[in-house]
Amino acid sequence: MREFFVVGGRRLSYLDFGGPGLPLLAFHGHYNEASAFVPLAEALAPQWRVIALDQRGHGESDRAPSYERDDYVADIAAFQRHLGIGSVAVVGHSLGGVNAYQYAARHPGQVTALIVEDIGAVVNSDWSFTERLPRGAPSRQALITALGATAPYLECSVRRSGDGWGYSFDLEHTVWSQKALNGDHWDDWMKVGCPTLLVRGRRSDELAADHARAMVTRRAGQAELVELPAGHVVHRDAPAEFADTVRAFLARCSSSWVRGASGCEGESGPTAE
């Protein structure tokens, strides 16, 4: 079900997939929106109730004058307050992954378990890809064709726009956001206090294997790494494996909560590192 709330005079949209399960907040990456998590929500039900935000400037949410790190983190805080669900598990991909771990670091106690999909503690995003995207087309099929190999990753954000077809994000705003995402975020990563799963695509061009391993090594005993046969968008390239990995991690974490333990033990799926 699509819902809306207002923060700072701007309207933000989200999809609540419903069900009796424990809530799992989900945050997409650039070029995407909440609907990117439909397959994950279906796979995790009924144990988990996925609630996915259209982050500022994306999907049905309003465009914003700023896309700085603090802006995204503040939106997540407002989202959680609006839902009134208390501390919660969180999953984020790329942009959403950095937003998620920065929120967990800066709002201790609000995140019980964290899944970060294919993004590092240092980000060096290349926004030239954004600038090369076709700006629009006369039909949906024409735009999908123009997108070529990237179409499967962007098609959930393709929208009718005026007399033609475009995206549910603004290309110029995406560049602003990508520039603001770049930087060294080690301090936030190291301040995360909850059990953390880092999922990397083995063919990723965004998160290098050595960097991913350094991220979990520096948080030994609290963070773990799983690598799956995928590129940067792991949940799209390997949906079943990704869902299985997330489900196993969350199941072990929820068992720890019941026992009163402080973390998750063991491996998270068949390819845990």
pLDDT of 13-53, one tens digit each? 999 999 999 999 999 999 999 999 999 999 999 999 999 99
Euclidean distance between CA atoms 3 and 38, whole angstroms: 15
Average pLDDT over residues 73-79: 98
Written as six digits, the tokens of 66 are 């700023």
Read off the pLDDT band of 98 (50, 70, 90).
Answer: very high
User: Omega of the bond prior to 46 within 30 degrees of 0, cis?
Assistant: yes
Residue extents of the structural domains in the chain? 2-130+169-259
Pairing of the two strands 164-167 and 111-117:
unpaired
Number of neighbours of residue 205 by Cβ within 10 angstroms: 10
Output phi, psi for 101, to 5 deg: -75, -30
For position 263, what pLDDT does the model report?
44
Euclidean distance between CA atoms 110 and 117, whole angstroms: 19
Radius of gyration from C-alpha coordinates of the chain = 18
What's the half-sphere exposure (Cβ side, CA atoms, 13 Å) at 1?
5
> Integer distance in angstroms from the first to the last C-alpha of the chain?
36
Residues shown for the chain: 273
In the numeric block, the tokens 């475009």 are attached to 166
In the numeric block, the tokens 């009796």 are attached to 20
**2-130+169-259: CATH class:** alpha beta
0.75 exceeded by pTM:
yes
The amino acid occupying position 144 is I
Contacts for 134 with CB less than 8 Å, ≥ 6 apart: 143, 146, 147
Residue-averaged pLDDT of the chain? 93
